[in-house]
Amino acid sequence: MSTVPSNHPYYKELEIASIAVMRTSILTKELSDSIATTQKSGTHTKDDKSPVTIGDYASQAIINHAIKLNFPEDEIVGEEDAEVLRKDNAEGKDLSAKVLEIISDVQSQTSQYNDRLGKLENEAEIYDSIDLGNSQGGSKGRFWALDPIDGTKGFLRGDQFAVCLALIEDGKVVLGVIGCPNLPATVISNEEMSGTKGGLFSAVRGVGSFYSNLFDKQDFTPLAEQEKIKMTQHTSPESLKVVEGVEKGHSSHSTQSQIKDKLGFNNETVSKQTINLDSQVKYCVLAKGQADVYLRLPISDTYREKIWDHAAGNILVYESGGLVGDIHGNELNFGNGRHLNSQGVVAGNKSVFKKVIEAVGDVLQA
């Protein structure tokens, strides 16, 4: 089966997820461009010092509201809660006003979606919608995993970030949608990227992975009219490309360098074969066949990934002909709660995945 007919069990889920991600991609793109230009307000700091923007709150509020409206029995595992917004102080009031303003603006811009996504009319509705993301997940039943803005530092730089939404049933990802507002159509290396910016990536279990332009359409495009994407099956060190994160604090770049060396990469060309991108954009580049391997090696033995950071990308790679696992090659378990009970993440095309896992094992055991 290559398309999702209207009677497919996930047709409505795909439509709602797609237009919700499209709406929030418009909002987050405008905000990212504004922040990158002015480098001014719109940020507060969590205890862990990672920046969180009003875009996170607005994006989560919009998507949670759409899910609850259309699938009232479904739970949501979301990254944010409304505690800061609810505070009766200057910060809470200021942030709340900004969130309401940008939500109202994008709802007006995309009024054709209001009948399906609903409208958030006031701050109280926004708080309640954000707090719908309090599910603990688990191995039974059906829930959504949402990262309202994945790649916050890329977002603040005006670089790569993504809006990521996945549907999980009994611990398995069955649908994923990723909006990449700043991703060019063609990615060759860190220095060479070209084409229209903005990609929408979708995957449905057993159906495939698909790509379409994020901003050139006014409504949901059936998968039959989207581009079906496939991973390449390169295996030689000369032809392989690796995607990694930008931030050294998120993965061990030194360990990843040793793994590329173990795989036979040439020291003189390895930098051209390594593409550094924030967020689940990395999975999208992989699924589109523009890279072959994704390395995210653990920075500590105790660190565990959040499920919303990988769920949508996971199904996108599987459905495009790739494999995803932990550092031992085991499948990621999305039924373990809000975290993955595994170390690191490695992805690759089916032809090279085993070889990459072997190299990971050799380096980590050395």
Sign (positive or negative) of CA dihedral 228, 233, 238, 243 = positive
| Catalytic residue list | 56, 152
Of 333, 257, 255, 244, whose CA–CA distance to 292 is shortest?
A: 244
Lowest mean pLDDT among 3-7, 207-211, 276-280, 344-348: 3-7
What pLDDT score does 44 carry?
Answer: 45
What pLDDT score does 6 carry?
Answer: 60
Domain spanning 242-365, CATH class: alpha beta
Lowest mean pLDDT among 31-40, 45-54, 320-329: 45-54
- Average pLDDT over the chain, rounded to an integer: 92
Q: Above 90 in pLDDT, residue 1? A: no
Domain boundaries, the chain: 10-228, 242-365
Is 79 a known ligand-binding residue? yes
What 3-state class would DSSP assign to 30?
helix
What pLDDT score does 4 carry?
Answer: 53
What pLDDT score does 247 carry?
Answer: 80
Is 147 a known ligand-binding residue? yes
pLDDT band at 47 (very low <50, low <70, confident <90, very high): very low
Q: pTM score, two decimals?
A: 0.94
Is 170 a known ligand-binding residue? no
Express as a percent the part of the chain with pLDDT over 90: 83
Of 294, 16, 345, 57, whose CA–CA distance to 167 is shortest?
A: 16
CATH superfamily for domain 10-228: Fructose-1,6-Bisphosphatase, subunit A, domain 1 (3.30.540.10)
Whole-number Å distance between alpha carbons of 294 and 275: 10
Is 309 a known ligand-binding residue? yes
Is 33 a known ligand-binding residue? no
Q: What is the per-residue burial (b if ≥16 Cβ within 10 Å, else e) of 74-93?
A: bbbbbbbbbebbeeeeeebe
> Fold identical between 10-228 and 242-365?
no
